[in-house]
Amino acid sequence: MESLPVTTKNDHHRRGVRSKGIQTSSSSKPSLIMAFFSCVAWLYVAGRLWQDAENRNLLTTLLNNNSAKRPKVLTVEDKLVVLGCRDLERRIVEAEMDLTLAKSQGYLKGQPQQNPRLLAVIGVYTGFGSRLRRNIFRGSWMPTGDALKKLEERGVVIRFVIGRSPNRGDSLDRNIDQENRSTKDFMILEGHEETEGELPKKAKIFFSTAVQNWDADFYVKVDDEINIDLEGLIELLQRRRGQDGAYIGCMKSGQVISEEGKQWYEPEWRKFGDEKTYFRHAAGSLVILSKNLAQYININSVSLKTYAFDDTSLGSWMLGIQATYIDDSRLCCSSITQDKLCS
């Protein structure tokens, strides 16, 4: 007779332990996999953060290097390049030239076009401290009051030419305004500062202003240190009437002074060659330009170069155009000839 299998208590215990071990090992595998991926994700995030920090450090270094090389102060030229204003600046200059050309061709301030052309506008340079000299002129060769008006009816306008004080509106300006209200014989250049070093600019502004205000055959610049034979000057101009391109004066080409501190020093002396002599120009205290030459100065005043003196500056403007040089010894005011028109 076969005996039945007998299960003991120890057999049950061994089976329980074996099954629990199988369950434990099977449940620990997902945990290990999750832990592995967590480590990988943490390493990835840490690496990205480290790379971003390195990139920020690199960018900061590059910005610091570039800012150190950048100029501390931008010049006007740099600003024009940045803003793209060079072309605009050129167009502004061209517009100013077109405007002055239009004015010179008929749009004259305060002067109707139908009025007959004058013979001459004579501008007598003067300064704030020259009232006594002006009064001497008014009592000698320069008419006043009704006589001045009658001279204008003959076609000749005479005005004392002066700018404004560096301290605009001070007693110097007020005294000139008061004198002008009494005598009515001034041409006040509002855009000019009346100082000794600005005489070349004064010549430019005088001819520009005169040609805008009066339509004349000639424009004459006179210093206030000379007396004039007015009738003799009018006769000279009448004989030259209708002659375009006339540049009339006492012509010479003097030495260029290159040593600073000496009288007549020329800061631009290097431009006049090894011989250091000026080009031929009308020197002295009396210079005459025909209308088309005065118009040329008016139209191109923005770009005309000035030198140390007004007569050499004026002569340089005549070099590149069709000007007829007329050397008249009667306009050499310091000469000893008997028929001179000034002294």
Higher pLDDT, 13 or 300: 300
Please state, rounded to an integer, the average pLDDT across all residues of the chain.
80
Q: What number is the average pLDDT over the span 169-197?
A: 92
CA atoms within 13 A on the CB side of 253: 9
- List phi, psi (to 5°) of 4: -75, 145
Please state which of the ranges 12-16, 94-98, 189-193 shows the lowest mean pLDDT.
12-16
Q: What number is the average pLDDT over the span 179-186?
A: 94
Position 55 confidence tier, pLDDT thresholds 50, 70, 90 = confident
Q: Is the pLDDT of residue 122 over 90?
A: yes
Higher pLDDT, 10 or 46: 46
Token reading at 186: 């001034």
Residue 71 has a pLDDT of 54
Residue 272 has a pLDDT of 67
DSSP codes, 13-79: HHHHHHHHHHHHHHHHHHHHHHHHHHHHHHHHHHHHHHHHHHHHHHHHHHHHHHHHHS-SS--HHHH
Token reading at 136: 């001497």
Residue 14 has a pLDDT of 54
Residue 142 has a pLDDT of 92
d(C-alpha 89, C-alpha 78), whole Å: 14
Residue 66 has a pLDDT of 67
pLDDT in tens, 195-244: 877 888 999 999 999 999 999 999 999 988 889 999 999 999 999 998 88
Higher pLDDT, 85 or 199: 199
d(C-alpha 18, C-alpha 15), whole Å: 5
Higher pLDDT, 168 or 26: 168
Question: End-to-end distance of the chain based on CA atoms, in angstroms?
Answer: 173
Residue 187 has a pLDDT of 95
Higher pLDDT, 289 or 2: 289
Q: Rounded to whole angstroms, what are the CA distances from 193 to 82, 169, 252?
A: 33, 12, 29
Position 111 confidence tier, pLDDT thresholds 50, 70, 90 = very low
Cβ-based neighbour number of residue 280 at 10 Å: 15
Residue 1 has a pLDDT of 46
Q: What number is the average pLDDT over the span 137-153?
A: 92
Residue 4 has a pLDDT of 47
Q: Is the pLDDT of residue 281 over 60?
A: yes
- Report whether 141 contacts 230 (CB < 8 A): yes
Residue 34 has a pLDDT of 78
Strand pairing category for 216-222 and 281-290: antiparallel
Edge-to-edge strands, sheet with 281-290: 186-193, 156-164, 118-125, 216-222, 281-290, 246-252, 324-327
Residue with tokens 């003991």: 8
> What is the per-residue burial (b if ≥16 Cβ within 10 Å, else e) of 188-218?
bbeebebeeebbbbbbbbbbbbbbbbbbbbb
Residue 131 has a pLDDT of 92
